[in-house]
Amino acid sequence: QADLMEFGGVSAQAGGSLRLSCSSSGVIESSVCMGWYREVPGKEREAVAILDKSGRTTYKDSVKGRFTISQDRAKNTLSLEMNDLNPDDAAMYYCAADLEVIPAFCDIEFRGMEYWGKGTLVTISD
């Protein structure tokens, strides 16, 4: 069930930047936990950035200082600013959100998001 829609991204050179955005029909506005995940063939989907309703953020270690997750409640969008990209960042990126998780569990280890987008592919060239 895809209640979220990602846009942006596509491709960048190593060292460059991309911005991903995610829109929804009210899901993001009502969410208590939101995030961006990525997946490459043959590997498990992993969280890269999580944002809870209070504004607390958690990041995968390898993207700390390079990626920034943010929410625009007025526009009902969730964004991921990605800087200093490297080939290891190439993946299918997914926006996700949950309306009910206990805030203490809303962190980079959370795997139970209820709502997902269909993903947007990000490629990085050397």
pLDDT in tens, 63-81: 999 999 999 877 889 999 9
**Residue at 39: amino acid letter:** E
Is residue 110 within 8 A of residue 50, CB to CB? The reply is yes
> Is 85 buried (19+), middle (13-18) or exposed (0-12) by CB count in 10 A?
buried
**Element spanning 120, H or E:** strand 120-125
Q: In whole angstroms, give the CA distance from residue 3 to residue 111.
A: 17
pLDDT tens digits, one per residue of 73-113: 778 899 999 999 999 999 999 999 999 999 899 999 999 99
